[in-house]
Structure 1
Amino acid sequence: MKPPIPRRRPFRLHHAHSFTRSFWGHKGDEPVESLIPQISEEWHRGVEQHPDLHRDPPKSVAILGAGVTGLTAAYQLAHFSPETSITLLEASPRTGGWIRSLKIPTSKGSITFETGPRTLRPWTVNGIITLNLISHLSLQSQILSVPKTSPAAKNRYIYFDKRLNELPSSVQGAFKALQLPVLKGAVPSVLTEIFRRRRAKDVEDESVESFLTRRLGANLTNNLASAVFHGIYAGDIANLSADALLHTIYRNERVYGSITRGMLGVQEMILEDKLLEGVYGSRTAPLLNQLRKTSIYSFKGGMETLTKRMEEAVKEECDVTLKTGVKVDGLEYNQETNEVKVLGYDSPNNSFDFVISTLPAWSTANLLPPGTSDALFETTGVTVMVVNLFYDKPNMTGYSGFGYLIPKSVPLEQNPHRALGVIFDSDAMPEQDERKGTKVTVMLGGHWWDNATSLPSQEDGIKMAKEVLLQHLGITEDPAETMASLQVDCIPQYGVGHAGRLRQVHEDLMDKMGGKVVLAGSSYGGVGLNDCVRSARDAAFGVAAGRPMTNLERWAFEEVWIPKDMP
């Protein structure tokens, strides 16, 4: 029988604000609380009287995985705690993880194919933290930005009822869009949401589908929301956690009684995010000003520009020991020495004060002693086939915009290859290629392949993608350049009960691994690149302070919310 998942504990100042500790150890930084002097007398008194606002830096730290999370953690930790010896271990021959940009030279100019993340958004707290990293890496000159006025920023589509439905990007467009099949019933669903009964008090979590159907009705949920979640998580909204993935509006229903009342009331955000927004917004002000009219951005050489530059920085500027081709077999905690031994790392010094694992949850679970934290096994991943196609003829899609997504409500005969969506790369990042033409990316699979007995080959994937474009857009021409990449278990799925499981993981790791195994990456606080950078930064800050932690404290303790406009 599984142990009961602990409920979230009462808020504790020193846990919720553990990220602030390192600021007092750095000269030239003002105390973080000075950024928001009006938060509350209680908060100020708690911080000012906190008995433990000093750093006790670890002597050695191992970081598992050299994707964007691991590279960021190594880079940040080297700056937060220069005295710490850092070892970064990667099982594959290369760094960068799922981020990969392939520049294909041709007689007509080069083409860049992305097999993973391809664009970033700057205007979130996590996005600002990523911009701060980019600024430190001196990559400003490599940025390619797309303005908010571009078609890629304004035009987005949902494939429904055998055609592309353009989603509204303005008030005027909203009235026109309401006539589209995909938004059938939208007005009454939204207008009546405020009158619908809130969930029972004892319900801590439910599926995205259950929550949105209850609040907004089945049509908007299945025809619109499911498509959006296909594009971000490649997952099924019937299984994904509302609390984890729609946290703010899920909370608003609990606190205010409805999504609408929460939106009409005082706009709030988590205190920790407000503090970080103030700190990093100030430090990144020049770059933010440069991007003030930007919707999305990437780099001239593709997204891998970021991870390649970080690899260079951690090796040459940070004195991090980076080892590729090292397959870690396990982690052992020695209670007497308070260290964690990394099994499989053939080195005289393979015991560390902390280990930061940026591996997927299920991979980390396999490294821990049996029974240490079985809840980690309950996070699983979905597999996506990413197919890149390039046509020499411009404007092949017949549309101008970022691309289109496909909801789960589309019948099988209209989507036989289980495509999740199509990105119009030529519009989304028009200046990245030297060769002129039309570049698109077709995403296949995701949760549709969860029970598949076999997966398609690269040749099959290209054929399937071409048939998707033929059926949906009428494209009959053969592409000039193609590439298919099967990304196995690439996107973690936050199933119902995700938050409770992470609370259990926090308890287990503190109890059985002494708070010396720290978790970061896409299995925990968001699957986007910005989310991974934030997760890595949080882990590095906490470890630099030298106190036992798991980096799951945000799930274990109550959050403090404050008005967004509080100075």
Structure 2
Amino acid sequence: MIIGGGISGLAAAYRLRELAAAREFPLEVKLLERSARCGGALETIRRDGFVIETGADSFISEKRACAELAARLGLGAELIPTREIYRKTFVVRAGRLVEIPAGFSLLAPAHLGPVLRSQLFSPLGKIRIAMEPYIAARTSDDDESLDSFVTRRLGREVLDRVAQALAGGIYTADPKRLSMAATMPRFVEMERRHGSVVKGMRAAENARAAQSSDVSGARWSLFQSFKNGMATLPEALAARLGESIRKGADVVGMSRNGNGWRLALASADSIDADAVICAAPAYAAARIVAAIAPDTAKILGAISYASAATVNLTFRASDFDGPPRAFGFVVPASEHRRIIAGSFSSFKFEGRAPAGAILARAFVGGEMSRAMMSLSDDEMVAAVRDEFRALLGVSAAPGIAEVRRWPDSMPQYEVGHLARVAEIERVVAEIPSFAIAGAAYRGVGIPDCVRSGEDAADAVFAKLATTK
């Protein structure tokens, strides 16, 4: 039994089906989803020639779990790369869009030249960045916040003007609480191995260049999506699982039933299962496992979540006075604006809008801007239009306006997160025929969620196969 029909739960259910078929093992897989639809934050609206993403619009291709699952589902030909000619990202600085220097990755540059030529940093800020290779590496292995790491290595300007905004676009988090070890371990490793993040960035760039020279054929971009939108993946999984999915089934608790489990539903029904994978959000998982693992439930319940919303707007290309030909822009909290990021879907991927039209979207809310979630849909659209008018110069009324709210959808990986997750996993491993999965533990990206679901399925199947 799988609890939760987001991408982690769907991936777990499909993986169990695959394992059972490969081993010719008799297994009935059931998935319980509390809402009326599966897919979680992967939802696509297809309307009037637009492909509108209301949640995640892509996945990182370096993590292969998502692309490999797509291939097994026969969706390999549906994958599309980003449009590299528009691969630029801007940041709002003093009320206008400034291009992030070439080679700048999340919080550090690989080369100082573009930084020194950029209008984004002050002369003193540039000097501080240039000093980074000469700053002694931290010797402690204790977890550290993004705020602490970036200011220690690169200075306050990098945090306030770039790193907080870029991290905010991914994690919608407070940099003073966001764990470096859980969210950006490669930068921690760069400091440990090279004594410098800038030196580590250069080494990584050289390694990629050497690898590229040894590889023939097409190279995928850093991000990929599907021709008809990200919902293609959960839709395909749900179609394969068919009647194994039960929607409107809200699991509120579980207890032992002989050698198996009994799941209690909000409807007062109960369902028996030999094994359970809980792919619900951590706060829901805490309630579900409270009776069988109260200590674990407390740790699960301590994982906080932020709420966010997306506002998609469609325009005619002529409504803009030269829109920035870019993937999008991020907005630092220090700018005190009402959106945290904006993107141009029709520039980022082919086929997202009809000819002569532009599809744009804004991200609202998050940990640093919780008050925005109290606005009505109309107020939220008006706020986004005001920001687009100020930042992009577009005052025309949108053709389509789609607001999608994602309450308590973004787990906050706070300092010490990996230690908490390790403790959760240790206790869960001791519970018979039970596993957890989802974005709350070891990655919020789509490939992370797919891998989490598949790992949980592997663990549970191994237990079932040895007991029968």
Short-chain TM bin: 0.7 to 0.9
User: Distance between the aligned counterparts of 2:319 and 2:79, measured in 1?
Assistant: 25
1:157 aligns with 2:90: yes
**Who is 2:329 aligned against?**
404
Normalising by structure 2, report the TM-score: 0.86
1:302 aligns with 2:229: yes
Q: Secondary structure at the match of 2:367?
A: helix
Equivalent AA in structure 1 for residue 288 of structure 2: L
Counterpart pick for 1:215 among 131, 150, 153: 153
User: Is 1:322 equivalent to 2:255 in the alignment?
Assistant: no
Corresponding residue number in structure 1 for 2:142: 204
Q: How does 1:8-407 map to 2 (within 5 A)?
A: 62-82=1-21, 83=25, 84-105=27-48, 110-122=49-61, 124=62, 126=63, 128-148=64-84, 150-151=85-86, 153=87, 155-169=88-102, 175-184=113-122, 185=124, 187-199=126-138, 201=140, 204-254=142-192, 257-260=195-198, 262=200, 292-315=219-242, 321-333=244-256, 337-344=258-265, 350-369=271-290, 371-373=294-296, 374-394=298-318, 396=320, 398-407=323-332
- Partners in 1 of 2:412 and 2:452 — Cα distance? 17
State the one-letter code of the partner of 2:68.
N
Which one-letter code corresponds to 2:353 in the other structure? D
Change (3 A) 1:195 1:353: farther
Matched, 1:529 2:454: no
After superposition, what is the alpha-carbon deviation per residue over 1:444-494, rounded to whole angstroms, capped at 9, x for unaligned? 1111344x4971111111101100101111211111111111211121110
**For 1:501-520, what aligned pairs fall within 5 Å after superposition?**
501-511=420-430, 514-520=431-437
Corresponding residue SS for 1:76? helix
Counterpart AA for 1:341 = R
**Which amino acid counterpart does residue 36 of structure 2 have in structure 1?**
P
SS of 1:178's equivalent?
Answer: helix
The answer to whether the 8 A contact 2:191-2:197 is kept is yes
Shift of 1:258: 4.0
Say if 1:173 and 1:399 are closer, same or farther in 2 by CA, change over 3 A: farther
What is the alpha-carbon root mean square deviation over aligned residues? 2.9
Residue aligned with 1:448, SS: coil
> Given residue 44 of structure 2, which amino acid in structure 1 is its aligned partner?
S
SS at match of 1:465: helix
Maintained 8 Å contact 1:401/1:428: yes
- 1:244–1:458: structure 2 CA closer, same or farther, 3 Å change rule? same
Matched position secondary structure for 2:120:
helix
Letter of the structure 1 residue corresponding to residue 417 of structure 2: H
Other-structure match for 1:7: none
- AA matched with 1:538: D
Q: Which amino acid aligns with 1:65?
A: G
Measure the CA separation in 2 of the matches of 1:473 and 1:173: 29
Kept after mapping to 2: 8 A contact 1:144/1:431: no
Mark the runs of 5 or more structure 1 residues left unpaired by the alignment: 1-61, 270-287, 549-567
Q: Does 1:434 align with 2:340?
A: no
- Contact 2:352–2:359 (Cα < 8 Å) also in 1: no
2:210 corresponds to: none
**TM-score under structure 1 length normalisation:** 0.72
What are the superposed Cα offsets for residues 212-264 of structure 1, whole Å, 9 maximum, x if unpaired?
11111111122111011111111121111111112122244345544356557
Give the secondary-structure state (helix, strand or coil) at the position aligned to 1:135: helix
Q: How many Å apart are 1:398 and its aligned residue?
A: 2.1
Where structure 2 has 5 or more consecutive residues not aligned to the other structure, the ranges are 104-108, 208-214
| One-letter identity of the residue aligned with 2:146 | V
Distance, in Å, in 1 between the alignment partners of 2:356 and 2:34 is: 38
Aligned to 2:376: 457
Which residue of the partner structure matches residue 106 of structure 2? none
1:509–1:145 Cα change, 3 Å: closer
CA distance in 2 between counterparts of 1:547 and 1:266 reads 42
Q: Distance in 1 between matches of 2:178 and 2:13?
A: 31
Query: Does 497-506 or 175-184 show the bigger shift?
Result: 175-184
Does residue 477 in structure 1 map to residue 404 in structure 2?
no
Q: In 2 relative to 1, CA 348–209 (structure 1 residues): closer, same or farther, beyond 3 Å?
A: closer
Structure-2 separation of matches of 1:403 and 1:266: 25
Structure 1 residue 520 displacement after superposition: 1.1
Amino acid paired to 1:340: W
The answer to whether the Cα contact below 8 Å between 1:332 and 1:340 also exists between their aligned partners in 2 is: yes
| Per-residue deviation, 1:395 | 7.2
Distance 1:136 1:265 in 2: 34
1:308 Cα shift? Answer: 0.7
Cα 1:144–1:256 change in 2 (3 A) is: closer
The alignment partner of 2:82 has SS state of strand
Inter-partner Cα distance in structure 1 for 2:393 and 2:437: 43
